[in-house]
Structure 1
Amino acid sequence: MYSVSLYEVAPSSIHNLATPFDSAIPFIPAMIVPYSWSLILFVVSFFLVRTSTQLSLLSYRLILATIFACLIFYFYPARFSFNRLPPNDWTQFGYQFLQLVDKPFNQLPSLHVSYAILLGVSLWDVVASKKQWISVTYRLLLTGICTLIALSTVLTYQHHLLDMLGGAVLAVLVLMLSNRIRNALVIKYLAVGSIGFLLIAIGGFYFANMSMRVSEVVENLAIIIAAYWLISFTMLACAYQQAKPLRDMHWFQKSNSGRLTLYTWMRFAPIIIIYNGMSLFGQWYFKVTSRGQIHLLIPYAINNRVKVVASPRLRQADLHSHLAYWLFGCTSLERSSLAEKLPPSVHYQIIVIDLAAEISSHVDHLEVAAKNMTSTPVHYLYLPLLDLQPLSDVLLKDYIDLFKRIDALTQSAETRAITANNESRVKGRQLKDGQAKDSLTTLINFHCVMGLSRSIGVQVLYLLYCGTLTIHSYQSWIEQHYPHAHLTDTYLPQSLVEAVANYKSIEYLTTL
């Protein structure tokens, strides 16, 4: 519809791709039949593939071809140049229907040709038989169908030869690219970026033609916004395409207080706004469904000095209640009564591990709440994980480095507590019988602002690293402490669990 409207407003903007060779191609009305096979083969192909890998690859290829073709249609609109007289035989109904649903625009590349090649390649091995003649017959039939579909594009006067060539080139590029796509999330964000670009740019075009006074300004502004949207989501797709090394820190930078930097906002504002909206909606929905009641998460004690807890993004109004429960086991404490119940010889520290790349952390609010309650120091660590990114996408080394930093903070604080006790003895302030020594309680909070999966997953890896959990007990532990968690083998693979659980023993052997 965009090309049709553009042709009516500015006919010179539509390109003509006819060559001298096209005039020698005959019009064969009966080729409308194989031309219609494209849609049938497109739908049937999803039922013919035999494995999930084949299905994913087929989907990647078709989506990529459609995305790239639509972008080319926008940037290089073309129109079929010949006049096609409607036939008077049994095929006339097919051409009448074609005239209604498939106008002679969006020519280069021919998606019929691209789809024919991509479907032919994707379905080549789906029929496996011990009898060779069955496989050969199937492949000859598939080749014949796909060839007729491609040829029908020019024999029905729907496309020119250059359109066919463009469709073939697009198919080859997609075949090369699709084998390198790491996961469906890359395709997802490429699609979101392209669709958003087309909707914004075309919407600006129509709105500009409705308001003739500022038409040029409106259209140019829409194109700028659309281009920014496309570039932002393309960069996001590139971030998901990155392999093992931890590069999310480069893509989504944060300050020491857990706030996304201005540089990050400039690159990823659309997705950041979307995720913030989702987070706020989730908090509002949870508040409504829970009728204002606070569901406090139970920390897990590694020993009598260290607790760990996984959490989603916490509302600022609930931070005081969560801290009181995590540190002291109290469901609700007023600030005045809290001071009376705190043992004077016990000190606290909180270590927050921020796992969400797309949204700012709530660590700044948590730090304020902790200082108001107990003057508890809060340490902030950042391990950026993209949404739905498998935990195995991060190198084992990056996890171990994080866990060692946590241990260093814990041990450093314990050392300070021991030193304080020793100084008391040196100064002659010996502790009386029954008087507690200075001790430290550390709360480690793994948190992700978009949910619990990331938080629980990394917390489990840390407990495996500490030796608190084993490869035989971690699943039952998850079921006991987080019964509603969804940690599939794809998200938290067994190979990663074993690598973390065995790390210390392997490290010890290598030092011998």
Structure 2
Amino acid sequence: MIKIVRKTPYLLFLLVIPLLAVVYQFLNNRSHKAVDISTALDQSIPFLPIFILPYILWYAYIFCYLVYFCFQDTKIYLKTLLMIVIAELICFVIYFLFQTTVPRPALTGDDFLTNLVQWIYMNDRPFNCFPSIHVLTTFAVMLASLHIKNKHILNTLCIHISGSFIIISTLFVKQHVIFDMIGSMFLITFLYGITFELLSFRLREKSETVYVKNK
């Protein structure tokens, strides 16, 4: 219990996420010279309203796993949050300089899933697509989870299966195209290499040098 209380203040760093959302909404209202980078392969991907469920699950997925990281390993939590913040700031620069758009299908029907898609379409204009924040934040959590020790196998499966469905859902509900997905995963992989691998290596190398000197 004492450990949980001690780590709780770190959750305040999550307030940076709604601040980033405000910037996103500001950029989402710009549609100046938006470019369509969809390909023939994107056009062959069917529109499947059922995938709106994992798409919306993203909101809970990111929040819940960041909280989980915080209490399991605060350093991993802070690194993950830092990686996400840097990635989104890079995205904002790209959105401002090179805005893309995604062709959306005409929605027909009045069923529950179609209404959910309609709600998303109404609240998120088809701009600010490359790279996809949905994909990059999800992939960031998936990669960071590899550093959380002593996870139950079901937890590991949940992180990666749910994350995979969220990523591909962006294509099946026509919120993003393949280049958006690839760009996001490339960006996060690059930042992951810096924040988790390169930084950790340098810190470990430094601590080993200090140990040798003291010895």
Q: TM-score range by the shorter chain?
A: 0.7 to 0.9
Q: Give 1:59 shift.
A: 1.4
2:63 equivalent to 1:43: yes
2:129 equivalent to 1:107: yes
2:94 equivalent to 1:72: yes
The whole-number CA distance in structure 2 between the counterparts of 1:84 and 1:169 is 31
How many percent of aligned residue pairs carry the same amino acid?
Answer: 19
8 Å Cα contact 1:35-1:149 kept in structure 2: yes
8 Å Cα contact 1:48-1:126 kept in structure 2: no
Q: Give 1:87 shift.
A: 4.4
The whole-number CA distance in structure 2 between the counterparts of 1:32 and 1:16 is 22
Bigger-Rg structure (1/2): 1
The whole-number CA distance in structure 2 between the counterparts of 1:104 and 1:98 is 10
Which one of the candidate residues 139, 142, 146 is aligned to 1:124? 146
Cα gap change, 1:48 to 1:19, in 2 (>3 Å): same
- Number of residue pairs aligned between Structure 1 and Structure 2: 176
Q: Give 1:3 shift.
A: 5.1
Q: Give 1:96 shift.
A: 2.8
Q: Give 1:97 shift.
A: 2.2
The whole-number CA distance in structure 2 between the counterparts of 1:63 and 1:4 is 18
Question: Which residue does 2:85 correspond to in 1?
Answer: 63
Which one of the candidate residues 130, 134, 137 is aligned to 2:154? 137
2:44 equivalent to 1:24: yes
Question: Which residue does 1:151 correspond to in 2?
Answer: 168
2:89 equivalent to 1:82: no
2:117 equivalent to 1:95: yes
Cα gap change, 1:125 to 1:6, in 2 (>3 Å): closer
Q: Name whichever structure is richer in strand by fraction.
A: 1
Structure 2 residue runs without a partner (length 5+): 1-24, 201-205, 211-215
Root-mean-square deviation (CA), in Å?
2.4
Q: Give 1:79 shift.
A: 0.8
Residue identity in the other structure for 2:59: L
Cα gap change, 1:19 to 1:43, in 2 (>3 Å): same
What SS does the corresponding residue of 1:107 show, helix, strand or coil?
coil
The whole-number CA distance in structure 2 between the counterparts of 1:147 and 1:100 is 25
Instruction: Report which structure shows greater RCO (CA 8 Å, sep ≥6).
Output: 2
Q: Give 1:83 shift.
A: 3.0
Residue identity in the other structure for 1:111: I
2:74 equivalent to 1:52: yes
**1:62-86 per-position Cα deviation (integer Å, ceiling 9, x unaligned):** 1111111111111110111233425
The whole-number CA distance in structure 2 between the counterparts of 1:150 and 1:71 is 22
**1:383-424 per-position Cα deviation (integer Å, ceiling 9, x unaligned):** xxxxxxxxxxxxxxxxxxxxxxxxxxxxxxxxxxxxxxxxxx
The whole-number CA distance in structure 2 between the counterparts of 1:166 and 1:108 is 7
Q: Give 1:58 shift.
A: 1.5
The whole-number CA distance in structure 2 between the counterparts of 1:139 and 1:27 is 29
Residue identity in the other structure for 2:159: L
The whole-number CA distance in structure 1 between the counterparts of 2:159 and 2:39 is 30
The whole-number CA distance in structure 2 between the counterparts of 1:145 and 1:17 is 27
Q: Give 1:161 shift.
A: 0.9
* Residues 293-442 of structure 1 mapped to structure 2, 5 A cutoff: none
Structure 1 consecutive aligned stretches of length 4 or more whose deviation exceeds 6 Å: none
Cα gap change, 1:136 to 1:23, in 2 (>3 Å): same
Q: Give 1:143 shift.
A: 1.2
Q: Give 1:91 shift.
A: 1.0
8 Å Cα contact 1:38-1:115 kept in structure 2: no
8 Å Cα contact 1:3-1:77 kept in structure 2: no
- TM-score (norm: length of structure 1): 0.32
Residue identity in the other structure for 1:25: I
Q: Give 1:15 shift.
A: 0.8
